[in-house]
Chains A and B, each alone.
Chain A
Amino acid sequence: MRRRTPLSRLDVQSDLRASRHVGVWVREALSGHLAVADWRMRAQMELAVHEAWTNIVEHAYRDLAGTVTVTACRVGHDVVFQLFDTGRQFDPRDVPDPVPEAGQVGGYGLSIMRSVMDRITYDQTRDGNRWRLVKSLASSV
């Protein structure tokens, strides 16, 4: 059994302007868990959480007010971010990868999340929807 250590939790309203708080929160949650020079890994995780957050605000809570809870924990060499909402359900399988050479305008958010994280899952729980984003820090520690 790998050791699980909670790092931080953020409860924030589903307002796009709050994304600034999410970015700061991600950087603070990762403080002390990444090599100082590993800006790329830190930026990748901030971007992935931001994209998941934006997806929730724009889709799950479109025309709705709600709260998004974001948590971070360390499990062995992995960092696990989870985002919880009680808005509309969303099926990532409905979103195909974009075709950049065709000038496709949308659909990049999920593709980015898939690219930078080692695992992404989305499921519906009894209490709402849950994104889980996992990144191994094995190369950074």
Chain B
Amino acid sequence: MHIAVTTEEARVILELRGRFDACEVDEVRAHIDAALESDIDELVFRMADVSFIDSKALALLVRYQNVCRDTGVKLTVSSVSQALTLILELTKLDRFLGLTGDSMLAEAG
């Protein structure tokens, strides 16, 4: 998987590409932890090019949504792939992760 990190003032954007599964969780977690160590207001995941995502990767996002809510950081998923849309529909986690059905339909592709 390819991870690109962009910092814009108090916002960190993590753009993930490729396969995001249990094998990749530790690497993504390290990037998230590094971002949260700085004084940020928002953590954004761009996942339009994630080709596969499993329950372990999804659990990581849920874990950090909980952390961010506790620490006053806004976590958002700004774009999604078909693979992510599929698993969010199945698990009904779209709302918890800050995605609406409209945005998923508009951005999936």
Q: Which residues of A are in contact with B by a Cβ distance under 8 Å?
A: 16-17, 19-20, 23, 39-40, 43-44, 46-47, 50-51, 54, 58, 98, 100-101, 103-106, 108-109, 111-112, 115-116
Contact = CB atoms under 8 A, between A and B. Distances in A.
13 contacts: A16-B22, A17-B23, A20-B19, A20-B23, A43-B82, A47-B86, A50-B54, A101-B92, A101-B96, A108-B55, A109-B56, A112-B87, A112-B91
A84 to B, nearest CB: 20
B59 A105 contact: yes
A108 B21 CA distance: 13
Contacts of B103: none
Interface string B53-81: 01110110011011001000000000000
A51 B91 CA distance: 13
A43 B59 contact: no
Contacts of A46: 52
Q: Which 7 A-B pairs have the closest CB atoms?
A: A109-B55, A108-B55, A115-B90, A100-B93, A100-B92, A103-B66, A105-B63
Contacts of B19: 20
Dominant SS at the B interface? helix
Dominant SS at the A interface? helix
Contacts of A17: 23
Contacts of B23: 16-17, 19-20
A98 B90 CA distance: 12
Given A47-B54, A101-B96, A116-B90, 17 more contacts: A16-B23, A17-B23, A19-B22, A20-B23, A50-B21, A54-B55, A103-B66, A105-B59, A105-B63, A105-B66, A108-B58, A108-B59, A109-B54, A109-B56, A111-B90, A111-B91, A112-B55
B2 to A, nearest CB: 15
Contacts of A58: 22
Contacts of B21: 19, 50, 54
Nearest to A58: B22
Contacts of A101: 92, 95-96
B35 to A, nearest CB: 19
